[in-house]
Amino acid sequence: MSKALIIIDIQNDYFQGGNCELVNPTEASLKAKELLEYFRKNSMPIFHIQHINLRKGATYFLLNTKGVEIHENVKPLEDEIIIEKNFPNSFLQTNLESELEKQNIKELVICGMMSHMCIDSTTRAAFDLGFDCTVAHDACTTKDLEFLGKNIKASEVHNSFMSSLGSVFAKLAKVENIIL
């Protein structure tokens, strides 16, 4: 079974000084970098997903800004595929599915940002499309959210979404267990 790495939205706006800072983005990106190096070393397919925000009133991932650029920790090589998307689901109105089909890829290792949004949306869509998914949970991160006037810490948001994905949609694994 052919396997590919999907790195979702590890872009400058999510890092310190960006327009939508997350909690511990550097740590998550360095874990994603470990996966990236492993896939490169083993000549396995890699897909970088880059969100370009076209939504009216958007404040981050704006076209032609430094914030929209893929972060240097996981910078694509010239021969690696970059899929641009405009929605949380990396398959929606993109050529990701056809690119995976061209290479007969059936298994996905997914990592990136944000756990509660694009990681969740993409993993569920991939499952619905018949892919066997593994989410590298320590190579993902998110931010604090608010619900019913209460602050929900990023770690709680992340853990809730990972537990939900792990219940049906994906296997969950640490990077070190993926690259054994």
Domain around 122 = 2-178
Instruction: Identify whether the C-beta of residue 134 lies closer than 8 Å to the C-beta of residue 162.
Output: no
The sign of the dihedral angle between the CA atoms of 110, 115, 121, 125 is positive
* Chain mean pLDDT for the chain: 97
Question: What does the pLDDT average to over 134-148?
Answer: 98
**Res 133 pLDDT > 80:** yes
Closest CA to 179 of 30, 43, 37: 37
| CATH code of 136's domain | 3.40.50.850
**Res 1 pLDDT > 80:** no
Question: pTM, whole model, 2 decimals?
Answer: 0.97
**Res. 73 pLDDT band, cuts 50 70 90:** very high
Question: pLDDT > 70: what percent of the chain?
Answer: 99
Tell me, what's the pLDDT at 180? 86
167: left (phi over 0), alpha (psi -120 to 50) or beta: alpha
Instruction: List all residues 6 or more positions away from 46 whose beta carbon is below 8 Å from its beta carbon.
Output: 4, 5, 7, 36, 39, 40, 76, 80, 81
Say how many domains are in the chain: 1
**Res 26 pLDDT > 60:** yes
Taking only the tens place, the pLDDT of each residue in 39-52 is 999 999 999 999 99
Question: What does the pLDDT average to over 124-150?
Answer: 98
